[in-house]
Amino acid sequence: MNKQELIQQKIGFVFVNGAGMKGEVWSKVADGMSQPSLLVDFPLREGTVEARKELALADYVSHLRKQVNEWGVRRFIIVAHSLGGVLALRLAYEFSDRLAGFVAVGAAIPSKGGSFLSVLPFPKRMLLSAILPKMGTKPPESAIRSGLCNDLTPAQTAEIVSGFIPESLRVYTDRVDAPIPDVPKLYVKLSLDKEFGLSLQNKMVSALSPQFVQSLETGHLPMLSDPDGLRRLLQDFYIQVDI
């Protein structure tokens, strides 16, 4: 059996980032893994805001699906963060025959196939429903700094602020229409998260009903603030899946 055949037989990791990011945000986690990893990207990352404006959630999922199909690894664990949880649920449903596990890292997990906005507390959901169509999906710099970057270094914060990519409105508002996957699941709670507070994360845990729940003492972007800790949790979960 050659090297490529061995890689194809090994369970890999598919990493799905959150809003405004690129797949490379996971690189510090994936680089230390012995398993094959795919850092998928959302569509039109290098395009204009106008170019992304008309994209539906289905367009995002289609773009992710194409990258997975071109990857060549047969079975995999999906690891999703934040908004990526919504996309990952649909991706998991479409690859149910190849899915080995599902990990949500401070991720949005809608119940009953809902949208990203449906997971938010009612006042915030109503506020964003009114604001997003008018103001767009890129938060103010102050909100990015306080919500996403509260435990990052100044250099990391500057990179996130300058590189934040506005998403299509519909990726927030379209229903995912996908069930919770029937595979081993892990939810990683982020105890210092200012974007998704613990009460909201606990709600997501209830929606996902995972077999495993772990915590990291980080803010919203643990793949940057504690990549080693996150990698350890993923490797421990991998052992449970690959028994």
pLDDT tens for 61-89 read 999 999 999 999 999 999 999 999 999 99
By percentage, how much of the chain surpasses pLDDT 90?
A: 79
Question: d(Cα 186, Cα 106) in Å, to the nearest integer?
Answer: 11
In this predicted structure, what is the pLDDT of residue 71? Answer: 97
What's the chain's average pLDDT? 92
In this predicted structure, what is the pLDDT of residue 5? Answer: 45
Instruction: Evaluate if residue 8 carries a pLDDT over 60.
Output: no
Question: d(Cα 189, Cα 183) in Å, to the nearest integer?
Answer: 19
Residues in the chain: 243
Higher pLDDT, 135 or 94: 94
In this predicted structure, what is the pLDDT of residue 161? Answer: 96
Contact by Cβ (8 Å): 14, 238: no
In this predicted structure, what is the pLDDT of residue 6? Answer: 43
Confidence grade of residue 1 (pLDDT, cut at 50, 70, 90): very low
Confidence grade of residue 134 (pLDDT, cut at 50, 70, 90): low
Q: What is the DSSP string of 165-198?
A: -PPPTHHHHS----PPPSS-EEEEEETT-SSS-H
Contact by Cβ (8 Å): 217, 225: no
DSSP H helical segments within the chain, as ranges? 3-9, 27-30, 49-53, 57-71, 84-94, 122-135, 141-143, 154-163, 170-173, 198-208, 222-225, 227-241
- Count the Cβ atoms, other than its own, within 10 Å of residue 123: 8
Higher pLDDT, 6 or 207: 207
Structure tokens at 224: 């940057």
Alpha-carbon distances, residue 107 vs 32, 79, 82 (angstroms):
22, 9, 4
Contacts of 111 (CB under 8 A, 6+ apart): 118, 119, 207
In this predicted structure, what is the pLDDT of residue 11? Answer: 95
What's the pLDDT tens digit per position in 35-60? 999 999 999 988 788 888 889 999 99
Question: d(Cα 226, Cα 131) in Å, to the nearest integer?
Answer: 33
In this predicted structure, what is the pLDDT of residue 156? Answer: 97
Give residue 162's domain range.
Answer: 3-241
Q: What is the CATH number of the domain that holds 19?
A: 3.40.50.1820
Instruction: Evaluate if residue 173 carries a pLDDT over 50.
Output: yes
What's the pLDDT tens digit per position in 177-220? 999 999 999 999 999 999 999 999 999 999 999 999 999 999 99
In this predicted structure, what is the pLDDT of residue 51? Answer: 83
Residue 81: enclosing H or E segment and its boundaries?
Answer: strand 76-81
Instruction: Evaluate if residue 107 carries a pLDDT over 70.
Output: yes
In this predicted structure, what is the pLDDT of residue 133? Answer: 73
In this predicted structure, what is the pLDDT of residue 7? Answer: 44
**What is the domain count for the chain?**
1
Confidence grade of residue 9 (pLDDT, cut at 50, 70, 90): low
User: What type of residue is 87?
Assistant: L
DSSP letter (8 states) at residue 40 = -
Contact by Cβ (8 Å): 138, 20: yes
